[in-house]
Amino acid sequence: MQPRIKLISFYAIMVLFPFVLLVMLELGLRIVGFGQSYPLFIENPLFPGYLQANPQVIQRYFARPEMAPNVHPDTSFFEKQKSTDTFRIFVQGGSTAAGFPYGRWASLQGMLEQRFKRLYPNKKIEVINTSMAAVNSYTLLDFVDEIQAQSPDLVVIYAGHNEYLGIMGVGSGYASMGSRDITLLYIKAKNLRLYQALEQIYYAFAPSPKTDDSPQKRSLMELIAKETDIAFNSELYQKGVEQFSENLASILSQYQKANIPVMIGNLVSNESDQVPFSSVGKVDWDAYEKSLSTLSAKTNIATLTQLIDKQQNTQIEAQVKTQIEAQLYFKLALNYYELGQFQEAKTAFIQARDLDRLRFRAPAVFNDIIAHHAQQYGARFVDAEKYFIDDSVNGIIGKQHMLEHLHPTSRGYFILGEAYVDSIVNSDLINSELKTYTRDSAWQDIPLTEVDRLVSEYNISKLTSAYPFTDTPRIVPQPKPGSIVAKTLQKRMSGMDWQTFHNRLIVEYKRDNNLAEAAKIAANVSDAIINDPKVAVKAAKLYLESEDLDMALYYYRRANALKPSNAEYLKGIAQVYFFMNKLDLSREFINKIKQLN
């Protein structure tokens, strides 16, 4: 019996030894400081007691920093130790959720924050954005555990356009693994120092990339589009659908198990003013649109319908069929639109988008998946598409709301924000008195400034002057300075630091007696530097000068929360209450000042 026990022990040791050795190697590499970790949230020494999204978090998916695209979450700070009276919201998504090309103030974070200042002035609400360009459901899924650890009261999701050509997407040139199982394994393995060591060894002997095709010479959209020919209902197309469906199910399931409320919106994109990318360079769309008339439209519709029917009934190669259909459906839509048959036009526009083989926009089936999974996993479905349709001319989403293929205009971002605002308000999740502030007033109050619009125009010009919007790329020069604001912006683009730049703008707007714009910029600075009471007071004073008492009170109260015993801040609150004719409250704060003395 004893020899048998010894034999079993021997085999057990033989089996376990490699695993013990691997564990020891992993621990040894960690002890000596080998490798990197890129947590989603990090501390900032300039903001003690606060966390922020890690600007280098995208590097966790790449072997070397230089291999990663230059994308990152916007810098915003939140308390490391969540206070009991705080309602905390996390935003997940891609470039639209991040507010491209305007930045933070157009994003879901910016729009929600601005609305909540008016709607819930007595409630402390944190909105933290983890969104960034080019990421898809793999990144969102990877972030779930770290978001859960920060005690969210609500998670807001707007994502889906990057499933094919985003990082780790099925057709992506960035970190694509091909299989979902392998990709999920890769995401987990990347945290191991042993895996990082093997990766470093591999790339030490791998051939150097070609210098004549460097990322500096190509746009992110060109670099990321490895598969440019993904036909509708093809194997690769279906992989993208399955990837999105399964990842989204995992995301929503995990939040449901943790009892964390989720709101997820369906997707919108440019229907009428973005030609299929796969047709660029093959059709002269400017010439075609100029040739349209009510006289020719009926004939065109009949001809195009016959061509589509013929190709659908002819046994030809699927990829050729798909390519032609995308162009034909877009032409069909333009002709229907010319005749004022808007529902038929909308249907054809959507078919053209879904048949576009260069998949920078999500197909309609993704919205079906979002609605189904929201119901299945207890998330609240936000019908953002309906908000856009209701706000659009003839119910077709176009350049009124879209800058290019899918990034909204300032109006579009406002409408997207309103869809989520209404959902949050109607959910009664925020336990605080709700004030009234109309949508028309909120539209005039969006946090975007003239500078944000100037920057966005330049960024969109650069984007649409390159692949895949044109087959003849061109260099876009920096805008020539006209106004004082534009001149100040040029200094910012030349290296002026962020805070100095905004302080200069405030001075210029005050000089022009544009106190409302000066106050908005000061408020944006305070929202970014949330631990500085002096910055909050600057915003409060400018709002007071511009006679916006509600916002003046909001920022004085922020300053007071940071320094409760400061007489100047208490006096400011008393003054605002006096102007509001709330005399009892004004006296209350005057008495607090007296108690300090």
Let me know whether 385 and 327 are in one domain: no
Does residue 208 form part of some domain? Answer: no
The CATH number linked to 524 is 1.25.40.10
Position 394, amino acid: N
Is residue 11, in this structure, part of any structural domain at all? Answer: no
Same structural domain, 128 and 264? yes
Residue 300 has pLDDT above 90, yes or no: yes
Query: Which structural domain range is residue 71 located in?
Result: 41-203+219-270+361-450
What is the radius of gyration, based on Cα positions, of the chain?
27
pLDDT in tens, 551-597: 999 999 999 999 999 999 999 999 999 999 999 999 999 999 999 87
* Nearest alpha-carbon partner for 447 in 348, 516, 520: 520
Q: Which of 151, 155, 149, 156 is nearest to 86 (CA)?
A: 151
Q: How many Å apart are CA 240 and CA 511, to the nearest integer?
A: 54
Distance (Å, rounded) from C-alpha 178 to C-alpha 166?
13
Q: Quick: pLDDT tens for 135-150.
A: 999 999 999 999 999 9
Does any domain span residue 1? no
Q: Same domain for 130 and 50?
A: yes
pLDDT-based confidence at residue 547 (cuts at 50, 70, 90): very high
In single-letter form, the type of residue at position 456 comes to S
pLDDT at residue 96 in the model: 99
For the entire predicted model, the pTM comes to 0.93
Judge if 299 and 247 occupy the same domain: no
pLDDT band at 7 (very low <50, low <70, confident <90, very high): low
Structural domain total, the chain: 3
Residue 3 resides in a domain: no
Out of 24-33, 50-59, 102-111, 551-560, which region has the weakest mean confidence (pLDDT)?
A: 24-33
Q: What is the CATH number of the domain that holds 156?
A: 3.40.50.1110
Average pLDDT over residues 55-62: 96
Stretch 224-244: mean pLDDT: 95
Using the predicted structure, report yes or no on whether residue 448 has a pLDDT greater than 90: yes
Pair 391, 432 in one domain:
yes
Q: Do 138 and 183 belong to one domain?
A: yes
Backbone angles phi, psi at 86, to 5 degrees: -95, 135
Same domain, 100 and 114: yes
Cβ-in-10-Å burial (0-12, 13-18, 19+) of 563 comes to middle
Domain ends where: 355, 382, 399? 355
Same domain, yes or no: 532 and 587:
yes
- Domain shared by 113 and 166, yes or no: yes
Q: Which of 168-172, 248-252, 306-310 has the lowest mean pLDDT?
A: 306-310
Domain endpoint, select from 425, 450, 475:
450
pLDDT over 60 at 6, yes or no: no
- Establish if 406 belongs to a structural domain: yes
Q: Is residue 459 part of a domain?
A: no
Are both 408 and 543 inside the same structural domain? no
Buried b (16+ CB within 10 A) or exposed e, 324-334: bbbbbbbbbbb
Q: State which of 308, 338, 355 marks the end of a domain.
A: 355
Q: Across all residues in the chain, what is the average pLDDT?
A: 91
Q: Are residues 51 and 170 in the same domain?
A: yes
For position 175, what pLDDT does the model report?
A: 82
- Residue 471 in any domain: the answer is no
Q: Is the pLDDT of residue 152 over 80?
A: yes
Angle between helices 498-511 and 484-493 (to 10 degrees): 170
Residue 231 sits in the same domain as residue 305: no
In a domain, 53, yes or no: yes
Q: What is the mean pLDDT of residues 353-364?
A: 97
